[in-house]
Amino acid sequence: MPSNEPRGPKQILKALRWSWQGLKAGYAYEASFRLEVYLFVIFAPLGFWLGSGPIEKILLVGSLILVLSAELLNSAVEAIVDKASPEFHVLAGRAKDMGSAAVFLLMLNVMLCWGLILVPRWL
């Protein structure tokens, strides 16, 4: 449903509050998201330290943020599928598998970014 509320600082604060609620819910209810947050806390500072310029830092840290974002989207898909179709259905399973595959592909992207940036320095 479209919002008729005027845009401005109040709406921005509401959006920030909803986003914060989403982050807290992801952390509270999703073990995969918690694990990825722990890895982010370890690897993001490393990415800032190991990146030799702004582009490398953006790639190293940004790829980690994409995984967190995809995990939240995957969790949202899983929650709505479970709500809409509590019994097993092939399409529900497919939706959940596709969300999981998106997270997996972004994890491969992390390995690709980190590998292409850091491995040549050690060879």
Catalytic residues: 71
First-last CA distance in the chain: 55
- How many C-beta atoms surround the C-beta of residue 85 within 10 A? 13
Is the Cα torsion angle 64, 65, 66, 71 positive or negative in sign? Answer: positive
Structure tokens at 94: 């497919």
Closest to 68 in 3D by CA, of 98, 111, 39:
39
